[in-house]
Amino acid sequence: MTYRSETDMSRRTYLQLTGGASVVGATGLAGCLGDDDDVIVPGTASGFPPFEFREDGELMGFDIDLLEAVVAETEYELGEWEDFDFDGLIPALTGDRIDVIAAAMTISPDRQETIAFTDPYWESDQAVLVREDDGFQPASWTDFEGRPVGAQSGTTGAEQVQTNLIDTGVIDEDDYSSYDNYVFAVEDLENGNIDGVVIDLPVAETFAAQRDVAIAFVEETGEEYGFGLRQDESELQTALNDGLAAVRDGDEYAEITDRWFGQE
């Protein structure tokens, strides 16, 4: 998929994100699939614009719109959204607090040992954010030698830091900062507490469009996002795959994509 660097901000004022970027859901166990076979409770991790974030307390974003469109093509109903830190989503799913994860979650073998996924709905690479107009402008991982770097815990970005920086000895463990969400990581970058943030490319583009940060370079990972499900929910998995195919085959997928990634 081709990404465009200018994101559609007409539905959001990104600088207002920080007030409610990471809120743990309050509806608890009510409404999960085991309680009502027709209602599925979705979970996400806000603070990852434009896929999911909060503006004036309202949850919105690409994943939110896409899952709602997909479920509308099925016989299921979508319950109230639950909002967690990213690394709390899989425990919430396996613990029956939610029924589906919509959080730009990369399909990976490690995660597939615990949960199942729908068919992919997005492709991405990883990007490295630095301060804009700063003297430090790295062109590769080795340029980060001895410099502090951050990423959101439980994400592909954190894995890239481990693989390309810590395991190779470019930085020490003490030089790595883990965050509950990327809003906090980018704030620390802007404030000079870290010198780089490793993050999914389309999200990096959103931050670069609205903050004093810039993309230094891109690591081509070719990862794919999918909606996360419990491994024993084959009927729900089939229904969501069919719903996703229907949304893709019509005009709605393109409309949702243009809404969040198109030019103004």
Percent of the chain with pLDDT over 90: 83
Q: How many domains does the chain have?
A: 2
Give the lowest-confidence range in 21-30, 76-85, 182-191, 203-212.
Answer: 21-30
Beta strands of the chain (E only): which ranges? 39-40, 42-44, 53-55, 58-60, 77-78, 82-83, 100-101, 116-117, 122-131, 149-152, 176-179, 196-200, 213-225, 228-229
User: According to the model, what pLDDT value does residue 262 have?
Assistant: 80
What is the domain range of residue 203?
Answer: 125-222
CATH number (domain holding residue 92): 3.40.190.10
218 and 235, same domain (yes or no):
no
Return d(Cα 70, Cα 18) in angstroms, integer.
Answer: 28
User: According to the model, what pLDDT value does residue 37 have?
Assistant: 75
81 and 103, same domain (yes or no):
yes
What per-residue string of b and e applies to 40-60 under the rule 16 or more CB within 10 Å gives b? bbbbbbbbbbbbbbbbeeebb
104 and 233, same domain (yes or no):
yes
211 and 135, same domain (yes or no):
yes
Does residue 7 belong to any structural domain of this protein?
A: no
Global confidence as pTM: 0.80
Confidence of residue 133 (pLDDT cuts 50, 70, 90): confident
User: According to the model, what pLDDT value does residue 33 have?
Assistant: 57
Does residue 8 belong to any structural domain of this protein?
A: no
User: According to the model, what pLDDT value does residue 2 have?
Assistant: 31
35 and 75, same domain (yes or no):
yes
Q: Does residue 155 or residue 9 have the better pLDDT?
A: 155
23 and 48, same domain (yes or no):
yes
214 and 231, same domain (yes or no):
no
Tell me the average pLDDT of the chain. Answer: 88
Does residue 5 belong to any structural domain of this protein?
A: no
25 and 152, same domain (yes or no):
no
Does residue 57 belong to any structural domain of this protein?
A: yes
62 and 193, same domain (yes or no):
no
234 and 196, same domain (yes or no):
no
26 and 116, same domain (yes or no):
yes
60 and 178, same domain (yes or no):
no
Does residue 1 belong to any structural domain of this protein?
A: no
Residue 28, pLDDT > 60, answer no
